[in-house]
Structure 1
Amino acid sequence: MNKDEPSAAAMPFRDLKGVVGTLEIGAALALVLAAGDIALALDENGVISDVSVSADDMPDLSGWIGRRWEDTVALDSRPKINEMLSSPASETPGRWRQVNHPGPDGNLPIHYRLVDLGEGKPRMAIGRDVRAWASLQQRLLQTQQSLERDYLKLRQTEARFRLLFDMIADPVLVIDAGTRRITAANPASYQLFGAKPGSLDNRDLANVIGGISRDDLIAALGGATATGEHCQMEVSMGEGEPPMTLTAMPFRQDSGRQFMIRLSRDNASADDASGRRPMADLIERMPDAFVLTDAKMQIVTANSAFVDLVHGSSKEAIAGQPLGRFIGRPGIDVDLMRKQLDDHGQVRNATTIVHADDAIEEAIEVSGVKTDAQGGHYGFAIRTVSRRVRDLPSADRDVPRSVDQLTELVGRMPLREIVRESTDLIERMCIEAALAYTSDNRASAAEILGLSRQSLYSKLHRHGLGNLIGRKDELS
């Protein structure tokens, strides 16, 4: 029932006088009280002149006599009282309106209908006690709030389960016990089978794991269903791959049976993995950068030094990115190193550059290895050479001193720049040889080089050879 229940279509008695015209006062009062639990007599100003109560459990309402009707109700109910009192007189009673009367024991909810008794006569407010209905409504609201809280807890539990499910390092799948089809799989499962996210859903487990017999799988799962305990079986993941242990644990969900399937390596592999933990910790702490990529040269993981080197925000932010985004010239250096690794299994001290997201470039040396597994991984140790060069004693010049140093420039600058560097190298070496041959006599050195003394002076100044202060007389 709504708070403001609309009235039904009016249909008065055909012979009203014959029905109620001869009613005595007591019968009329009984008729009024039968229509409701309380009756309020109201004058033309809306002041309560009298009160009649028929319900035994109603509080004492004698204090309402002489008060305005709207003063006996709560603030939010006063507009409804004013609306009923201001409505024009009618032979048909108005619709029921719910109002609340404040009291020492809480609100008293009443449904009122205003009845006009005729011109010059008081109006009658017939009221029905709806405390039981309001209590049911309150219980319904509390039940709804409880359901919403339970639903929120369920969603939070589901979110925690999903987070834990996704973070498990071992491949874990959930399958239907009847059809043996996959209903859920964690990211480690997709990585193990080389499948795209979502592509394992609704697939038969025996078809996904190639090295397993359908009959053996049905027998193992059937035994686990009968006993209610987990079962284990060894499965082959392919040629050259170590076998894995399949553990199936039955459980119930939505009145149906399902299995939690876990694939793991044997204990020897687990011990080997635990033995690699100190190695992983050392790699994380080493000052040189280290990065591990997959067969497509996409970053799998890296240590903190590599993250700092490329000015990344975190390891997670650079995971999955192509190595060529950070190392070497686009499409050149990384491809060359990959070919070298595929052919020889390792690369030593390859000189290239690192370019971070903030466009800062720095010279580096890269050493790398490749694993022997099919489709394997690549590991790279990276060391910056700019810091090492800055730490060396300052040289008298900026050009290379040998052919070996010239060849190291390949990949770091264009051929045109390398040719210019080689020209400077040859010129410097010839000038140094001439000065050594003439015992540092600049005039004789200029003559055997076929240069004017002023030209030799200019080249000495450009190459930073010797202390020319106080020696200009030798060139004059």
Structure 2
Amino acid sequence: MLPPDLMTEILSTAADITLLVAPTLRIVAVLVNPSHRAFGQLTDWEGMQLPDILSEESQRKLTLRLADLDGGRRGLSVELNHASQQSWDFPVRYSMHRMGPDGSLLMLGRDLRPLAEVQQQLVTAQLALERDYEAQRELDTRYRVLMEMTRDPVMLVSMSSGKITDLNPAAAGLLGGTRPELIGTAVAQEFDGRRRGEFLEALSNMATAEATA
């Protein structure tokens, strides 16, 4: 048999928080891991009923898990949210073990707040990405409508590659092709031979028409 002090030390370091609960669900002892003081001492829990320090949903989960445990199932765990009127609320995953002839309950808990914080950060990042995506999609839609409705030829060319990155139908018509055909082609090749002359003539005619309009 291990000395009581050694048993207490083992239990307090085996988990972030350890609860010893009587069959009546009265909390007999609370042990907090010395290296995990985020919980505080929690000695005020001793003598309280376990359901009284749980959220309503967690009270129901505890009842179901206790029924499973009494039915002979082993290796059970449950996530419980501790809550009180002092506005604190934190999740803990407990493994549950029956002890002794009276059926006392040993609960070894792992603080889930770090995991919950990471999950919240991921959710926040995902929402930000979705907002950015929606904003970008709206800009793309406006840009595409503007390109389609603009009567003047508009062509975008990459300065690094000299290739056409986008153009509107008016510019595609002047170059004698379609938008899908021309995107990605070198703009210089569109000014060779007869097509170059036709392109310049078309630009000149459009300029003359606008000047006399």
TM-score by length of 1: 0.39
Trace 1:1-400 onto structure 2 (pairs within 5 A).
Answer: 22-54=1-33, 55-59=36-40, 61-88=42-69, 94-103=75-84, 104-177=86-159, 180-193=162-175, 195-196=177-178, 198-210=180-192, 236-237=197-198, 242-244=201-203, 265-266=206-207, 268-272=208-212, 275=213
Segments of 5+ residues of structure 1 without an aligned counterpart are: 1-21, 214-234, 246-263, 276-476
Post-superposition shift, 1:112?
1.0
**In structure 1, C-alpha distance between the alignment counterparts of 2:117 and 2:178, rounded to whole Å:** 55
Whole-angstrom distance in 2 between the partners of 1:73 and 1:135: 20
Post-superposition Cα deviations, 1:117-161, rounded to whole Å, max 9, x if no partner, equal 233241111112232332222222212222222222222222222
Rate the CA distance shift 1:82–1:162 in 2: closer, same or farther, 3 A. same
CA distance in 1, matches of 2:181, 2:123: 43
Aligned length: 210
Q: Deviations over 1:423-442 (max 9, x none)?
A: xxxxxxxxxxxxxxxxxxxx
Q: Report if aligned partners of 2:22, 2:105 keep a CA contact under 8 Å in 1.
A: yes
On the 8 A contact 1:39/1:126 being kept in 2, the answer is yes
Q: Secondary structure at the match of 1:70?
A: helix
Cα separation, 2, equivalents of 1:84 and 1:242: 84
CA distance in 2, matches of 1:181, 1:116: 73
CA distance in 1, matches of 2:146, 2:168: 9
**Identity %, equivalent residues:** 25
What is the one-letter code of the residue matched to 2:28?
Answer: S
* Aligned AA (1:74): S
Helix, strand or coil for the counterpart of 1:139? Answer: helix
Question: By how many angstroms is 1:168 displaced?
Answer: 1.9
Shift of 1:24: 0.3
Q: CA deviation at 1:179?
A: 5.0
| 1:28 Cα deviation after fit | 0.6
**d(CA) in 1 for partners of 2:132, 2:76:** 39
* TM-score using structure 2 length: 0.78
- TM-superposition CA deviations, 1:377-408 (whole Å, max 9, x none): xxxxxxxxxxxxxxxxxxxxxxxxxxxxxxxx
Q: Quick check: 2:65–2:76 contact (8 Å CA) kept in 1?
A: no
Q: Secondary structure at 2:100's aligned position in 1? A: coil
State the alpha-carbon separation in 1 of the partners of residues 23 and 88 from structure 2: 30
Relative to structure 1, is the Cα distance of residues 83 and 90 closer, same or farther in structure 2, using a 3 angstrom cutoff?
Answer: closer
- The residue type equivalent to 1:56 in the other structure is R
Q: What SS does the aligned partner of 2:19 have?
A: strand
* Higher normalized contact order (CA 8 Å, seq sep 6+, divided by chain length): 2
Secondary structure in structure 2 of the residue aligned to 1:138: helix
Q: Shift of residue 195 of structure 1?
A: 3.6
Whether the 8 Å contact between 1:209 and 1:237 is mirrored in structure 2 is no
Q: Which amino acid aligns with 1:117?
A: M
Larger radius of gyration: 1
- Residues 69 and 76, structure 2, Cα contact 8 Å, conserved in 1: no
Specify the code of the residue in structure 1 equivalent to 2:61. K
Q: Which has the higher helix share?
A: 2
| Inter-partner Cα distance in structure 1 for 2:188 and 2:158 | 13
Matched residues in 2 for 1:132 and 1:196: separation? 55
Contact 1:211 1:237 (C-alpha < 8 Å) held by counterparts = no
Q: Could you tell me how far apart the structure 2 residues matched to 1:161 and 1:271 are?
A: 27
Task: Report the secondary structure of 1:88's partner residue.
Answer: helix
Secondary structure at the aligned position of 1:98 is classed as strand
Letter matched to residue 242 of structure 1: E
Q: Given the superposition, is the C-alpha separation of residues 106 and 271 from structure 1 closer, same or farther in structure 2, using an over 3 Å criterion? A: farther
Letter in 2 for 1:244: L
